[in-house]
């Protein structure tokens, strides 16, 4: 039960009352702040779907914190799109033909709050019912809760499950991405998804200069991608981006965990948006050669074409085969 906010959807939250802090609620079970907001549409013009705004996963490099995205509330005070599944269903039913729906680019669909609200799950049910396809990106093994629905979507149309990986070093992973599944947990989830017949893709991003920009790390990640049998890898290069909002958070975390590193970043990149690793050219060559050695599709256009193409399950049989 919730205090009086959120209407019918508040009742979906189990075992939870809670305190109010300003206009937000604090869940008893996940300890996250949240509030509802009303939206007229759920899909972006390119069929992207973000059900939450903000994130509690705490990745130190998170770009979604950037002020350009105009999140007006605390980043950890999750905005929940009220009635998102109902609005999504109306939007999909109004479409003439099905297409791929993409989620996970701006916020993770499997933050802890999803265990309570099951908003992502209800939207997957809508996508399956309406016969649309899905590409879903997360860093959480919570995705396995919905493997039945992912299989159903894939059976009827197409589903691509995607995970981001940044480092094979579990201790470093806990520092860079404290709230998400560890790399090994994500790889296990990828294997389980693949065994269920769901095609998987890995995003290797970001590669942080002077932190995870090593050949050892890259090879460790590629070995795990090969082990998981992923369909493709997306890597935008070897570096990271930084903007107002994300930079301040990142630098504070560098001071906490990597003394002297902030000063090194400032010396190397100043206030540049693009922070390329000095090892970028070498790592790019290694990436190409080692992907090819392992039979991993790494051509960005091919992988994106695959993710975005709407196909029936029958048509999928011809892709990458």
Residues engaged in binding ligand SF4 (CB under 6 A): 55, 57-59, 62, 64, 107-108, 139, 180
CA distance 265 to 206: 15
Is residue 234 within 8 A of residue 305, CB to CB? The reply is: no
| Beta carbon nearer to ligand SF4, 139 or 253 | 139
| Beta carbon nearer to ligand SF4, 92 or 113 | 113
| Beta carbon nearer to ligand SF4, 132 or 203 | 203
Is residue 234 within 8 A of residue 201, CB to CB? The reply is: yes
| Beta carbon nearer to ligand SF4, 108 or 290 | 108
Q: CB under 8 Å to 200, separation ≥6 — which residues?
A: 160, 161, 162, 163, 190, 193, 194, 228, 229, 230, 231
Q: How far apart are the first and last CA of the chain?
A: 50
* Edge-to-edge order in the sheet of strand 232-234: 48-49, 100-103, 133-138, 159-165, 200-204, 232-234
Distance set, CA 313 to CA 96, 280, 309 (Å): 20, 38, 12
- Burial class for 150, CB neighbours closer than 10 Å (0-12, 13-18, 19+): buried
Output the smallest distance, CB 58 to ligand SF4, in A: 6
| Beta carbon nearer to ligand SF4, 58 or 229 | 58
Output the smallest distance, CB 179 to ligand SF4, in A: 7
| Beta carbon nearer to ligand SF4, 55 or 283 | 55
Output the smallest distance, CB 273 to ligand SF4, in A: 17
CA distance 3 to 82: 16
Output the smallest distance, CB 144 to ligand SF4, in A: 17
CA distance 192 to 144: 8
**C-alpha torsion angle, residues 208, 212, 218, 224 (rounded to 10):** -110
Output the smallest distance, CB 96 to ligand SF4, in A: 33
Output the smallest distance, CB 164 to ligand SF4, in A: 8
| Beta carbon nearer to ligand SF4, 62 or 159 | 62
Output the smallest distance, CB 55 to ligand SF4, in A: 3
| Beta carbon nearer to ligand SF4, 64 or 277 | 64
CA of residue 272 relative to chain centroid, distance = 25
CA of residue 75 relative to chain centroid, distance = 16
Output the smallest distance, CB 108 to ligand SF4, in A: 4
Is residue 206 within 8 A of residue 166, CB to CB? The reply is: yes
């Amino acid at each position: 039960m919730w205090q009086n906010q959120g209407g019918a959807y508040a009742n979906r939250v189990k075992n939870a009352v809670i305190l109010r802090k300003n206009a937000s609620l604090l869940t008893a079970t996940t300890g996250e702040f949240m509030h509802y907001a009303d939206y007229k549409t759920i899909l972006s013009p390119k069929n992207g779907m973000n059900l939450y705004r903000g994130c509690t996963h705490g990745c130190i490099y998170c770009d979604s914190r950037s002020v350009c995205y105009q999140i007006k509330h605390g980043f950890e005070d999750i905005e929940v799109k009220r009635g998102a599944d109902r609005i999504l269903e109306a939007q999909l039913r109004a479409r003439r033909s099905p297409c791929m729906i993409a989620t996970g680019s701006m916020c993770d669909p499997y933050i802890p709050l999803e265990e309570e609200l099951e908003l992502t799950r209800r939207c997957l049910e809508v996508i399956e019912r309406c016969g649309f396809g899905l590409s879903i990106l997360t860093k959480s093994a919570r995705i396995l809760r919905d493997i039945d629905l992912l299989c159903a979507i894939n059976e009827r149309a197409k589903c691509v499950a995607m995970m981001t990986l940044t480092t094979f070093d579990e201790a470093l992973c806990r520092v860079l991405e404290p709230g998400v599944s560890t790399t090994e947990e994500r790889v296990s989830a990828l294997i389980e998804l693949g065994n269920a017949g769901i095609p998987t893709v890995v995003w290797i991003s970001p590669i942080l200069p002077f932190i995870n920009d090593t050949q050892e790390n890259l090879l460790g990640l590629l070995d795990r991608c090969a082990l998981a049998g992923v369909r493709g890898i997306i890597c935008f290069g070897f570096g990271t981006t930084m903007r107002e909002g994300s930079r301040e958070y990142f630098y504070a975390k560098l001071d906490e965990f990597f003394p002297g590193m902030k000063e090194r970043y400032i010396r190397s990149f100043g206030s540049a948006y693009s922070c390329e690793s000095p090892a970028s050219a070498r790592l790019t060559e290694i990436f190409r050669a080692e992907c090819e050695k392992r039979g991993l599709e790494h051509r960005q256009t091919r992988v994106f074409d695959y993710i975005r193409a709407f196909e029936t399950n029958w048509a999928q049989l011809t892709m990458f085969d």
